[in-house]
Structure 1
């Protein structure tokens, strides 16, 4: 995208120390912005200083929720290169979410080029310690000021960057999960497979209840039968049962995670039987009772791999692998983060260098 205008900050910021990095609270000097207008298309791409946005109170996104977002990561490798993990996978999913929310399709190549120009400008903001990264947040909002339910005629696309540490304060340790039996997250034909704010707003009440009961996450069941496993609030879920990797199939109400896809590709390449299918919570508990539930773990961009140490469903608690990180979850975590950090050769072509 050669026509991007660039306005630089007058005073460049400083990357905090690794110990000061949390998740999603620190932002880099610049951001990318582009507009859409009906009849004109996407236009006016620009890189500008990160700042507050001037918005009309009547913007459609505030009232009717027409918005989407993505979450990606860039890493500083051991040999000091800056690389992005599977950027096209994320940007293509961004467009799939756009389609669900009636947001105009974006040219993936153009957004890719804009992102990499922004990253080249912000290279000094990429931390280098293992477990840290530069989190990339593209998002689109309907910015037309209009009170009335309709597809907006104007949108804004932003890309902001945030240097981050570990997603979970407890680090790479097993999380306890409550299997939700009161609330539902999504249903086929709805927005469950899109990365849109409404899905995350829907999860808050259940998540707060789980926190109050001492759990770290919520596992959602299907909205119709209330027994088939879907996903965790911030990640997809996978089970290792009797040596087989099983994860719920993508059915229209589950977000197709890029890390989930990575885990499945890796597992198949390592020769494990890997299955995407409907799986019920009863089946998981039955496998546990038979001593066949080897491991449970989540996968997501933020946490990469998150081992699950405990599940609680209708008051029945089961402890998985003695509440210890399982060997397979550890192997996956070590491999994926090894590729991201440059310690392990990128034989799958997942990493793209910023030049």
Structure 2
């Protein structure tokens, strides 16, 4: 499939652009969206860019009943010299297809999807915010659209990309957050859908998050669903701990998401010759390191927040304050480096960013 096949239908009128000082996250959407359909026997077809609008589905569409859906989270960044960058988009498309495989959804052509995304960004380039710390959040997703009440992979799907100008994910910016260790609920288990980016994983996390919020904690730290002993993720992010000079993150085990930011952090740490390991890590080991004064930092990683420093854990009536509740030196360095690469203010030694060619400058 060639990008020349993408039909572009421009919106008759353009909506007023939002106040960049009050964007929030994920509530405002651009004028256009990308769509492409899948029909069994025909494959993916009819790629198009259309005005952002409601979609019509039958009440019996399988997405509503059996949850066959996957999604990704990406961003486009405007540099000081008005170029537009994407950060490792090929990794997002690789993960989307990994999620597709787990949910029995047909594979997409990742290269074509990136080219379609570039075209969509070009069409809606005026929506890329210019204020410091802002970006254009990108949400590719696939839903099962076949009208059928039967538990089986659907025969029809729609792939869509919508975009949203966003500010910082956390209003406080890169500031330490308080984390409640979750002992009752499980995010997922090995053999489940934990390594897929699918809606059900997030729906099942809401009750624990609700309880954490009531106790004035920002997020929950998920332990494994079998022994309730080993650390997996923090909220919807991967998690890292700096213990006695070594950075440790839970190994990918079938229930942990293959984070693009996670992989970027690991590569940066190796580039800086900072010891880093991917292994099984128990909450008791973390607590013991804290008691011994060896737990130096902890932080979450993800597209939305990039680096989210952790200032406090609460586990089994034990409160663990890290680095006097302040952002750690390594967390700050990682945040500054990754965002510097994304916005083009520092060198990109890994060739992570891809420039989006746009027809005219903003």
Range of TM-score over shorter length: over 0.9
Give the Cα–Cα distance (whole angstroms) in 2 for the partners of residues 143 and 23 of structure 1: 27
Give the Cα–Cα distance (whole angstroms) in 2 for the partners of residues 294 and 20 of structure 1: 34
Aligned mate of 1:302, from 279, 301, 304: 304
Segments of structure 1 that go 5 or more residues without pairing to the other structure are: none
Q: Deviations over 1:12-56 (max 9, x none)?
A: 233323212110000000000000000000001000000011111
CA RMSD across the alignment: 0.7
Aligned mate of 2:124, from 115, 122, 141: 122
Q: Deviations over 1:185-240 (max 9, x none)?
A: 11111100000000000100000000011100000000111110000122110000
Give the Cα–Cα distance (whole angstroms) in 2 for the partners of residues 18 and 50 of structure 1: 20
Question: For 1:336, what is the secondary structure of its paired residue?
Answer: helix
Aligned mate of 1:140, from 130, 139, 142: 142
1:199 aligns to what? 201
Question: For 1:318, what is the secondary structure of its paired residue?
Answer: strand
1:210 aligns to what? 212
Question: For 2:4, what is the secondary structure of its paired residue?
Answer: coil
Q: In the TM superposition, what are the counterparts of 1:13-28 in structure 2 within 5 Å?
A: 13-28=15-30
* Shift of residue 346, structure 1, vs aligned partner: 1.5
Matched, 1:74 2:83: no
Matched, 1:31 2:33: yes
Question: For 2:141, what is the secondary structure of its paired residue?
Answer: strand
Aligned mate of 1:164, from 148, 156, 166: 166
Q: Deviations over 1:109-159 (max 9, x none)?
A: 111111111111111111122211000000000001111111100000000
Matched, 1:312 2:314: yes
Give the Cα–Cα distance (whole angstroms) in 2 for the partners of residues 172 and 73 of structure 1: 18
Matched, 1:43 2:45: yes
Segments of structure 2 that go 5 or more residues without pairing to the other structure are: 358-362
Give the Cα–Cα distance (whole angstroms) in 2 for the partners of residues 350 and 14 of structure 1: 33
| Paired residue total | 355
Give the Cα–Cα distance (whole angstroms) in 2 for the partners of residues 340 and 46 of structure 1: 28
* TM-score when normalising by structure 2: 0.97
Give the Cα–Cα distance (whole angstroms) in 1 for the partners of residues 220 and 196 of structure 2: 19
Whether contact under 8 Å (2:145, 2:158) holds in the other structure is: yes
Question: For 1:2, what is the secondary structure of its paired residue?
Answer: helix
Question: For 1:297, what is the secondary structure of its paired residue?
Answer: strand
2:328 aligns to what? 326
Aligned mate of 1:52, from 51, 54, 58: 54
Q: Deviations over 1:243-299 (max 9, x none)?
A: 111000000000010000000000000000110000000000010111110100010
